[in-house]
């Protein structure tokens, strides 16, 4: 009897051997225990033993790649033995009794071929048919017939297989860029290795390269260890399993594992892309006729277009021409083509080292490549896969396939940089130095390959690269400044009050009052955001950054003749409630709503009282409105609060509903804390992450009424803004302005606060405020401040 409990712990080869031996014994027992059927009169005598019967493994078992907790894919092949049903039952039932999962079928060779020629998935599995036990000649006939059928049906089945893979890409994504990748079905995963072998079996492409096979074997090892550690049949490398899998495979940590998985996935995806191009070209029906020479069209010195790819010219001298690599790459991208695989191999072997600094012609070719936009992405990937990009930029290896754990990021660091350069190519007309924009975009995150703040450590690295490229000293300084300050504009726009003159002055000082650098940083921020995700560069964020740039530009040139309209500006109320009955005074609640970039702006007017801001934030949270920015102004005990909001589920705020809810909250008939607690229970995805909040103060960065900025970073949850502002109010701080940013599952909230007592915020009060904010993050709600009636806030 097979010890199924020990199978997952066995190495892959040993596990397959144990299963083969056990399955062979099952077939032998089945044949010995099943009496032959009575022959028909005049027919051949009954056959005994395994003559005319073969137990054949297909799929992962056929490839000797069965993972722990994997399915057994078996076919019982026969040539017409009448007792086959009884034999099949005698084989299948012990497998089920052992607790193993089984995918089985009973077929003749003709039946198997018929299925393989019409069902692409079945045909793919039968290509891996391997004899486990029984009639070897019958199993050989099955393998020969199914492979012949696969070749004959290739023109019909391979397009179906291609479409299946493309559909899975849309559903699952690319293995190289997923933080929790599906090792099997994601594009570049194990399925790609199997498809590459299937295409080779159709004789439309070569067998997979040694590099592709090594990548495939590594992914098999990762999947085996994942299933062994998790104890279940899963192919998704979830975050909690990454560290133990990494340790088991001898890797230092989960980031190293994810990086190796990405590199393997990119190699398989790269080979698969090239293979599918070859297949599609081979399957195109061409008219019969005499052979015609393929037209060769010159594109640049040393490279020509031949068909749908770029190849070396006959007089090209790759060993004596260091600029040929980038010249050919730029020509391919400009023509929206790819370099041929043979050309890439020749360049990888023969290209000489690049002189330093780069000749101007080489730098010009590199800029032409980057300026080609989207078509440059695939060409740069070609250079990367052949090791040519790292020869040009040795620092590239430090960020190659480096994972980014932030949920905003769609790509690894290196691919993000390439995508940013592609996005920047569409913005070159907006700046005076498009060459610096392209290079700065490609290098802005290069520091992520080293420890420390990537903006700080990346600046000298980018400067060294720009120097090697042959840029002037002044241009090198500009590229370095772009990398050092590439987050200046988006961070300032989303975390500071850009209507505050101190904010504008600080940005101007940071960029040394250089208008050209300001516009380069603006374009770089747009390219960086576009290459990250739509969440990272929303219309609202773009609006804030553009407004900040306009203000700084006015500060540098003195061009504006009047103050710009504030980002958050009150609008006329569209509805007013009945007077609010409060002990400290009466007044009505007025609400106005208008559409703004990527959302709405809500203006609420009410009688001022301690904790007003918190109550308004709670009402907005109950109405499923995410606050992104807010400002409060108090005149003669009348507060006007302006909120930039975005509906969480697409429902535009209704002024009447908001006015009634605010009135009820101020009168105490709407229990905000209880209602928000229930809302949080209903939406458990808003639950707090385990990490403690990070609270920091920026008291030296404000002017005017506010005396400090307190920053809170914590796991996002329903009603978080309400609880934080209630905690600030309970500690005697008034919120005059706020900038709210949601970073995936995290919130980064910045509050401009002032002390209602008129005293500076001392260390003791700061400690109390921090403790209150930490409690609010954990779900606590501060007790409301008694309404003193005469204290604005």
Contacts of 216 (CB under 8 A, 6+ apart): 190, 192, 193, 208, 264, 268
Q: CA 232 to CA 656: how far, in whole Å?
A: 53
pLDDT in the model for residue 43: 54
Evaluate the omega torsion of the peptide bond into residue 25 and state whether it is cis, within 30 degrees of 0: no
**Residue that is written with structure tokens 């009052």 in the block:** 513
- Could you report the per-residue pLDDT of 393-444, keeping only the tens digit for each? 999 999 999 999 877 788 999 999 999 999 999 999 999 999 999 999 999 9
DSSP state of 236: B
The chain-wide mean pLDDT, for the chain, equals 88
**Residue that is written with structure tokens 């005598």 in the block:** 45
pLDDT in the model for residue 189: 96
Mean pLDDT, range 737-749, rounded to an integer: 79
Query: Exposure pattern of 772-790 as b/e (b: 16+ CB <10 Å)?
Result: bbbebbebebbebbebeee
Q: What is the band of 38 on the pLDDT scale with cuts at 50, 70, 90?
A: low
Mean pLDDT, range 726-745, rounded to an integer: 84
What sign for the dihedral angle of Cα 195, 197, 199, 205?
positive
CB 677 within 8 A of CB 652: no
- Could you report the per-residue pLDDT of 56-113, keeping only the tens digit for each? 999 999 999 999 999 999 999 998 888 899 999 999 999 999 999 999 999 999 999 9
pLDDT at 577 over 80: no
566-570, 745-749, 773-777: which has the highest mean pLDDT? Answer: 773-777
Q: Between the CA of residue 342 and those of 265, 382, 699, what are the distances in Å?
A: 22, 12, 61
pLDDT at 563 over 70: no
In what helix (H) or strand (E) does residue 687 lie, and over which residues does it extend? none
Q: What is the band of 744 on the pLDDT scale with cuts at 50, 70, 90?
A: low
Contacts of 776 (CB under 8 A, 6+ apart): 720, 723, 724, 726, 727, 782
Token digits of residue 104: 């089985």
Q: What is the band of 211 on the pLDDT scale with cuts at 50, 70, 90?
A: very high
Q: At what angle do helices 434-443 and 473-484 cross, to 10 degrees?
A: 50
pLDDT in the model for residue 755: 84
Question: Which of 740, 716, 573 is closest to 658 using CA atoms?
Answer: 573
- Could you report the per-residue pLDDT of 105-131, keeping only the tens digit for each? 999 999 999 988 888 888 888 999 999
Question: Which of 412, 69, 63, 374 is closest to 264 using CA atoms?
Answer: 412
Q: Between the CA of residue 492 and those of 6, 326, 529, what are the distances in Å?
A: 58, 38, 15
Assigned CATH topology for domain 4-36+48-152: Beta Polymerase; domain 2 (3.30.460)
Q: Which position has the higher pLDDT, 696 or 49?
A: 696
Task: Tally the residues of the chain.
Answer: 793
pLDDT over 70 for what percent of the chain?
90
CB 237 within 8 A of CB 249: no
Mean pLDDT, range 207-235, rounded to an integer: 94
Q: Could you state, in order of their start, the residue ranges of all structural domains in the chain?
A: 4-36+48-152, 156-283, 419-563, 575-777
In three-state form (DSSP H/G/I as H, E/B as E, the rest C), the secondary structure along 5-37 is: HHHHHCCHHHHHHHHHHHHHHHHHHHHHHCCCC
Q: What is the band of 676 on the pLDDT scale with cuts at 50, 70, 90?
A: confident
Claim: this prediction has a pTM higher than 0.75: yes
- Could you report the per-residue pLDDT of 119-165, keeping only the tens digit for each? 888 888 899 999 999 999 999 999 999 999 999 998 889 998 888 88
Q: At what angle do helices 413-424 and 434-443 cross, to 10 degrees?
A: 160
pLDDT at 579 over 70: no
787 CA to centre of own chain: 49
Q: What is the band of 598 on the pLDDT scale with cuts at 50, 70, 90?
A: confident
Mean pLDDT, range 375-400, rounded to an integer: 96
CB 689 within 8 A of CB 578: no
pLDDT in the model for residue 687: 43
Q: CA 168 to CA 184: how far, in whole Å?
A: 11
CB 200 within 8 A of CB 206: yes
Question: Which of 517, 518, 525, 438 is closest to 486 using CA atoms?
Answer: 525
pLDDT at 344 over 60: yes
pLDDT over 90 for what percent of the chain?
60
Q: Which position has the higher pLDDT, 671 or 481?
A: 481
Domain 156-283 of CATH type 1.20.120.330: yes
Q: Between the CA of residue 280 and those of 159, 199, 276, 400, what are the distances in Å?
A: 8, 11, 6, 30
- Could you report the per-residue pLDDT of 678-688, keeping only the tens digit for each? 877 766 544 44
- Could you report the per-residue pLDDT of 604-626, keeping only the tens digit for each? 999 888 889 999 999 999 998 98
């Amino acid at each position: 009897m097979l010890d199924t409990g020990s199978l997952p712990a066995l190495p892959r080869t040993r596990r397959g051997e144990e299963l083969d031996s056990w399955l062979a014994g099952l077939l032998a027992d089945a044949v010995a225990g099943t009496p032959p059927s009575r022959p028909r009169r005049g027919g051949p005598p009954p056959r005994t033993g395994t003559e005319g019967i073969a137990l054949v493994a297909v799929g992962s078992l056929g490839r000797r790649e069965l993972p722990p907790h994997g399915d057994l894919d078996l076919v019982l092949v026969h040539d017409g033995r009448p007792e086959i049903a009884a034999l099949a039952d005698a084989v299948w039932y012990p497998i089920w009794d052992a607790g193993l999962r089984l995918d089985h079928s009973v077929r003749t060779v003709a039946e198997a071929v018929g299925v393989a020629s019409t069902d692409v998935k079945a045909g793919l599995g039968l290509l891996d048919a391997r004899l486990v036990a029984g009639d070897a000649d019958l199993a050989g006939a099955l393998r020969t017939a199914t492979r012949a059928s696969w070749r004959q049906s290739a023109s019909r089945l391979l397009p179906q297989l291609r479409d299946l893979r493309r559909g899975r890409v849309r559903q699952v994504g690319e293995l190289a860029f997923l933080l929790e990748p599906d090792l099997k079905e994601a594009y570049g995963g194990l399925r790609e290795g199997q498809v590459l072998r299937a295409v080779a079996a159709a004789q439309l492409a070569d067998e997979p390269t040694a590099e592709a096979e090594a990548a495939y074997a590594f992914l098999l090892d990762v999947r085996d260890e994942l299933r062994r550690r998790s104890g279940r049949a899963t192919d998704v490398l979830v975050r909690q399993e990454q560290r133990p899998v990494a340790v088991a495979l001898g890797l230092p940590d989960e980031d190293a594992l994810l990086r190796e998985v990405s590199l393997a996935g990119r190699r398989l995806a790269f080979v698969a892309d090239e293979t599918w191009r070859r297949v599609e070209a081979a399957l195109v029906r061409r008219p019969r006729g005499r052979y015609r020479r393929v037209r060769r069209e010159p594109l640049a010195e040393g490279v020509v277009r031949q068909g749908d790819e770029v190849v070396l010219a006959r007089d090209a001298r790759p060993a004596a021409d260091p600029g040929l690599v980038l010249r050919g790459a730029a020509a391919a991208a400009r023509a929206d083509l790819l370099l041929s695989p043979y050309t890439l191999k020749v360049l990888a072997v023969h290209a000489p080292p690049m002189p330093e600094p780069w000749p101007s012609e080489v730098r010009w070719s590199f800029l032409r490549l980057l300026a080609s936009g989207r078509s440059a992405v695939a060409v740069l990937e070609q250079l990367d896969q052949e090791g040519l990009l790292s020869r040009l930029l040795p620092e590239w290896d430090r960020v190659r396939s480096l994972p980014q754990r932030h949920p905003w990021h769609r790509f690894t660091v290196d691919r993000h940089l390439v995508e940013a350069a592609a996005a920047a190519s569409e913005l070159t007309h907006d700046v005076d130095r498009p060459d610096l924009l392209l290079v700065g975009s490609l290098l802005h995150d290069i520091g992520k390959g080293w420890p420390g703040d990537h903006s700080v450590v990346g600046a000298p690295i980018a400067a060294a690269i720009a120097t090697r490229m042959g840029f002037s000293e002044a241009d090198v300084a500009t590229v370095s400044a772009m990398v050092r300050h590439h987050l200046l504009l988006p961070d300032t726009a989303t975390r500071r009050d850009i209507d505050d003159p101190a904010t504008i002055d600080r940005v101007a000082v940071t960029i040394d009052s250089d208008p050209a650098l300001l516009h380069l940083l603006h374009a770089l921020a747009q390219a960086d955001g576009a290459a990250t995700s739509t969440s990272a560069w929303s219309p609202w964020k773009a609006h804030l950054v553009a407004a900040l740039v306009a203000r700084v530009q006015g500060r540098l040139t003195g061009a504006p003749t009047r103050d710009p309209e504030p980002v958050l500006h009150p609008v006329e109320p569209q509805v007013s409630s009945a007077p609010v009955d409060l002990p400290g005074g009466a007044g009505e609640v007025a609400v106005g709503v208008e559409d703004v970039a990527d959302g709405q702006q809500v203006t609420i007017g009410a009688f001022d009282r301690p904790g007003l801001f918190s109550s308004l934030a709670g009402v907005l949270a109950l109405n499923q409105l995410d606050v992104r920015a807010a400002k409060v102004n108090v005149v003669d005990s009348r507060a006007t609060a302006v909120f930039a909001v975005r509906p969480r589920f697409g429902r535009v705020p209704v002024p009447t509903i908001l006015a009634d809810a605010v009135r009820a909250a101020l009168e105490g008939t709407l229990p905000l804390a209880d209602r928000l607690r229930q809302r949080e229970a209903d939406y458990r995805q808003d639950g707090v992450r385990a990490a403690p909040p990070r609270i920091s103060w920026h008291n030296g960065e404000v002017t005017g009424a506010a005396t400090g900025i307190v920053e809170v970073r914590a796991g996002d949850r329903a009603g978080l803004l309400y609880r934080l502002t209630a905690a600030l109010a309970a500690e005697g701080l008034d919120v005059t302005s706020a900038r709210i940013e949601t970073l995936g599952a995290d919130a980064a909230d910045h509050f401009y606060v002032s002390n209602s007592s008129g005293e500076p915020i001392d260390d003791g009060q700061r400690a109390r405020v921090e403790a209150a904010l930490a409690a609010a993050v954990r779900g606590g709600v501060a007790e409301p401040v008694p309404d003193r009636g005469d204290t604005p806030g």
